[in-house]
Amino acid sequence: MFGSLGMPELIVIFVIALIIFGPKKLPELGRSLGRSLNEFKRASNELKNTLEEEVRIEEQREATAKAQSAPAAPATGSRTDEPIPTHAADHTA
């Protein structure tokens, strides 16, 4: 649940917090800790989503740049580097 903290360790921490802060202040501290953790989790998720979006946009830019820099394929059947075949017609009849 909390990494390497087991149930006995959590009970000891709770008892020490109860002794230090008292029973009236402990629920308020728990709520504020819960809110803080929730806000931290929300900020972490927002940062993660922002980074993933930036990576996706950069990949799209790279793909677009790659597609634009690729040479255009020649049209089929219209190659100008091949000689036009000529057939010698024998008109000696």
Cα(36)–Cα(25) distance, rounded to whole angstroms? 17
Tell me the pLDDT band of 88, cut-offs 50, 70 and 90: low
Give pLDDT tens digits for 18-72.
888 888 888 898 899 899 999 999 999 999 999 999 999 999 999 998 888 876 6
Looking at the chain, how many residues does it have?
93
Structure tokens of 82?
């091949």
Q: Identify whether the C-beta of residue 55 lies closer than 8 Å to the C-beta of residue 67.
A: no
Classify the phi-psi angles of 90: left when phi > 0, otherwise alpha if psi is within -120 to 50, otherwise beta.
beta
What's the pLDDT at 83? 62
Q: Identify whether the C-beta of residue 18 lies closer than 8 Å to the C-beta of residue 26.
A: yes
The structure's pTM equals: 0.50
